Amino acid sequence: MKIYRAGKQGNLRSITLFHAMARLGYEGLIITTPTDTYVSVGYFDKTDEIIDIKKCKELSIPVIRREVGGGAVLLHENQVFYQLIINKKKVPFKVIEAYQKFSKPVIEVYRKLGVEVEYKPVNDLIVARNKKKISGQGAADIEDSFVFVGGILLRFNTKLMAQLFKVPEEKFRDKIYKNLEENITWVERETGRLPSYEEVEELLIEEFSKIIDFEGESEIPKEAIELADKLKDEFTSKEVLFEDTGRKHRAIKLREGVYLRTGLHKAKGGLIRAEIYTDGEKIVQAKIYGDFTLYPKGKIKNLEKRLEDVKFERDEIVKVLEDFMKEVEFPGVEVEDLLMAIYGD
């Protein structure tokens, strides 16, 4: 296995390169950083439900779909990516064990940068003192390879990321920005210092070399660069971006265990707005409001409370809504209207 110092890469190669290397059967650790700004959606994301494609076009920000899971992320300079590629025959452990094993050198890198970090299953690294996400990671099989990828966040643009998520109306935009600010952090924010790419690159090589026996360093093969550029066209095509790959969730991932879905539905009885926070499986918190009429009006808080700990699944939510509607007068609003705001179609 080799170490590949890919350095600064444009043309979306900071994400297509490891796909190309894996498809060609190269093993090793790639370290790179993007010169461009773009959005990467996870393999199981439904792009048109998560990302505001129109806004991305207005801001000239490309959108690409990767073959690794996880949520939609904004990639830009001041992020250093580590991308480990190993032949699947050499990976006897389960995916969760891979996260635990390969997160260790990354945790040590953050420590040396002045941030105490801990692993939070399944695929996040969080700051120990405030529990904010500072790194998202991913793992997948590509051809005959197993890949483990992630990034060291030196600086992150939460304001721009909030602009790129799809929302039912603009008033939700500030809520997403606030939630990103509350749930995500980065090295400069935690320490007041912005490390250089070169410093982080050396630390990653040093720490990964403690758990993997590398056979020196090598240049990125020309054929891998050529394939990466071809994959860019494929991964940014409408066919791939909007392909239904059986998404796992219907909400924006803020960090591991915290998802947000904003909903808006116009019923005969008025506009219904909903903010639904889940842990990926169950509803943690629900906020429902709008310009509708409800009697008794205080019962809406009762509904929000009832939705807590309910599985974020259509049938389970319907049961709660049906029971609730038997106890109130909700002119012009049916169970299906509430469901559209809370869960979607």
pTM of the predicted protein model: 0.82
State residue 199's pLDDT score: 98
pLDDT digits (tens, 9 = 90+) for 3-37: 999 999 999 999 999 999 999 999 999 999 999 99
Report the top-level CATH class of 2-241.
alpha beta
pLDDT digits (tens, 9 = 90+) for 36-83: 999 999 888 888 888 999 999 999 999 999 998 878 899 999 999 999
Q: CATH 3.30.390.50 occupies which residues in the chain?
A: 257-342
Nearest residue to 74 via CA among 159, 199, 132: 159
DSSP per-residue codes, 71-123: --EEE-SSEEEEEEEEEGGG--S-HHHHHHHHHHHHHHHHHHTT--EEEETTT
pLDDT digits (tens, 9 = 90+) for 82-98: 999 999 888 767 788 88
CA distances in angstroms from 91 to 29, 53, 95, 101, 146, listed in the order given: 15, 37, 9, 11, 8
| Band of residue 168 on the pLDDT scale cut at 50, 70, 90 | confident
| Integer Cα distance of 129 and 160 in angstroms | 26
Q: CATH 3.30.930.10 occupies which residues in the chain?
A: 2-241
State residue 189's pLDDT score: 97
Instruction: Kindly give, in sequence order, each residue whose CB lies less than 8 Å from that of residue 35, ignoring residues fewer than 6 positions away.
Output: 8, 9, 10, 77
List the CATH code of the domain at 257-342. 3.30.390.50
pLDDT digits (tens, 9 = 90+) for 220-279: 999 999 999 999 999 999 999 998 766 555 678 888 788 888 888 999 988 899 999 998
* Residue 53: DSSP 8-state: H
